[in-house]
Amino acid sequence: MTSPMRSFTFHPGPRLIAGPECALQIAAQLPPGPCLFVTDPGVTQLGLARSCLEALRDSGREVVIFDQVEADPSKETLLAAAAAGRTARVASVVGFGGGSPMDVAKLAAYLIGSGDDLDTIWGVGNANGARLPLALVPTTAGTGSEATPVAVITCEGGEKRGVNSPALIADWAALDPDLTLGMPRALTAATGIDAMVHAVEAYTSARLKNPLSDLHAREALRLLSNNLIRACGHPDDRDARSAMLLGAHLAGLAFANAPVAGVHALAYPLGGLHHLPHGLSNALMLRHVLAHNSEAAREDYAELAEIVAPECAGQGSQARAAVLIDRLDALVRESGIAQRLRDHGIPAEQLPLLAREAMKQQRLLVNNPCEISEADAQRLYEAAW
């Protein structure tokens, strides 16, 4: 006999266009009128956006380019992007790049469309106005931001603050794996591990775990764990890049509906205070937070272990949970990431401050399968140091 269905909700995300050159189709989807195009200097220099920009211009609309988004974008950058769009009276917004430009595009589209003040919408469910039509094109296979209702901005004192609201889910997402070809190893590794953490944390999300997120998370973890090392070692491998981009998107859909937790909460202060890339910060804390959770999340970790290490099927749940942690740790190591906080210039004296800062991430900590207190957080940073 099956147990009765538990209540849940699931937002299926943006309309998806996928395949080589698919970003060119965005021009035909957006409403007429000027378009704000949000990207960053690295993406511009690589020329990744050239054909998409051409298609937008060829459709007869003015394109206002804002290309000054930095990694872990600041509030000032976001407000400057929104001001540029407002001045040009844009009718739509495109975010083109990694999580940083996509997050700025999402919030710029919302602030321009709704007229809301940024300081009134932080947190979960507070952005309820109407945003401008929005299309997102990822060029990293990591954040899944093109699928999620989340945008993350770095505020005063390095605090990472998020807005999480259905209004931020884009109208269109375009997945073109060719845009991720040639990505350097360190970026491939960090962003790919970020996506794997999204899948794992969605699968164990304490309040909103649900069967559809589980489905997406499992397939995401399969695609990502089977292709990460290949993509790192063979930057131009189209199949591996396609699998990573799809995996990152599926992980995004999973955590859009079953939010991430402790690994992200402890990763954020490393990005906010020390500017470590988001995926790298997650990679450094992954093993330690999973070990902390391993009893509370034992059954879920055991199920995921069979995806990353099928040979462990048949072992007890405690053994399989340990296999998951070891296998993910091995992937981090094989991807070439130096695994200790000290390898990345974090001074030991900073650990208590990091633990204090992590406690500000209650939005995420409430989703963890067990409590992480400030003392726990300090212990976990010490283990990672």
Ligand X SMILES: NC(=O)c1ccc[n+]([C@@H]2O[C@H](COP(=O)([O-])OP(=O)(O)OC[C@H]3O[C@@H](n4cnc5c(N)ncnc54)[C@H](O)[C@@H]3O)[C@@H](O)[C@H]2O)c1
User: What residue 187 binds from ligand X, Fe ion, none (CB within 5 to 8 A, per partner kind)?
Assistant: ligand X
Query: Could you tell me which residues come within 8 angstroms of residue 195 by beta carbon, excluding any fewer than 6 positions away?
Result: 141, 142, 143, 144, 220, 224, 244, 247, 248, 251, 252
Site string for ligand X, 115-154 (x = CB under 6 A): ------------------------xx-xxxx--x-xxx--
- Half-sphere exposure for 115 (CA within 13 Å, toward CB): 0
The rounded distance, in Å, linking the Cα atoms of 102 and 78 is 11
Give the footprint of ligand X on residues 277-336 (CB under 6 A). 278-279
User: What residue 165 binds from ligand X, Fe ion, none (CB within 5 to 8 A, per partner kind)?
Assistant: none
User: What residue 263 binds from ligand X, Fe ion, none (CB within 5 to 8 A, per partner kind)?
Assistant: none
Q: Give which of 337, 163, 358, 344 is closest to 261, Cα–Cα.
A: 358
CA 37 to chain centre: 20
Alpha helices in the chain (DSSP H): 26-29, 41-46, 50-58, 75-87, 99-114, 185-203, 211-233, 238-257, 262-274, 278-293, 298-308, 317-334, 351-358, 362-365, 374-384
Looking at 181-189, 193-201, 348-356, 372-380, which segment touches Fe ion (CB under 5 A)? 193-201
Pick between residue 159 and residue 382 the one whose CB is nearest to ligand X: 159
Give the position of tokens 């931001």. 145
Contact in structure between 16 and 173 (CB atoms under 8 Å): yes
Looking at 96-104, 210-218, 283-291, 336-344, which segment touches ligand X (CB under 6 A)? 96-104
Rule CB under 6 A: is residue 77 a binding residue for ligand X?
Answer: no
User: What residue 43 binds from Fe ion, ligand X, none (CB within 5 to 8 A, per partner kind)?
Assistant: ligand X
Task: Select from 194, 214, 300, 357 the one that contacts Fe ion (CB under 5 A).
Answer: 194
Pairing of strands 160-164, 150-154: antiparallel
User: What residue 179 binds from ligand X, Fe ion, none (CB within 5 to 8 A, per partner kind)?
Assistant: ligand X
Pairing of strands 15-18, 172-175: parallel
Q: Give which of 66, 56, 258 is closest to 172, Cα–Cα.
A: 56
Q: How far is the CB of 226 from ligand X (least distance, A)?
A: 21
Q: Give which of 339, 345, 341, 337 is closest to 185, Cα–Cα.
A: 337
Contact in structure between 232 and 189 (CB atoms under 8 Å): yes
Q: Give which of 15, 25, 52 is closest to 37, Cα–Cα.
A: 52
Site string for ligand X, 147-186 (x = CB under 6 A): -x-xxx--------------------------xx--x---
Looking at 25-33, 97-105, 285-293, 328-336, which segment touches ligand X (CB under 6 A)? 97-105
Pick between residue 262 and residue 279 the one whose CB is nearest to ligand X: 279
Q: How far is the CB of 194 from Fe ion (least distance, A)?
A: 4
Rule CB under 6 A: is residue 42 a binding residue for ligand X?
Answer: yes
User: What residue 227 binds from ligand X, Fe ion, none (CB within 5 to 8 A, per partner kind)?
Assistant: none
Pick between residue 206 and residue 245 the one whose CB is nearest to ligand X: 245
Pick between residue 194 and residue 214 the one whose CB is nearest to Fe ion: 194
Rule CB under 6 A: is residue 103 a binding residue for ligand X?
Answer: yes
State the DSSP string of 19-57.
Answer: STTGGGGHHHHSPSS-EEEE--HHHHHHTTTHHHHHHHH
Pick between residue 84 and residue 270 the one whose CB is nearest to Fe ion: 270
Give the footprint of ligand X on residues 193-212 (CB under 6 A). 194
Residues at the interface with ligand X (CB under 6 A):
40, 42-43, 46, 48, 71-72, 97-100, 103, 139-140, 142-145, 148, 150-152, 179-180, 183, 187, 191, 194, 278-279
Residues at the interface with Fe ion (CB under 5 A):
194
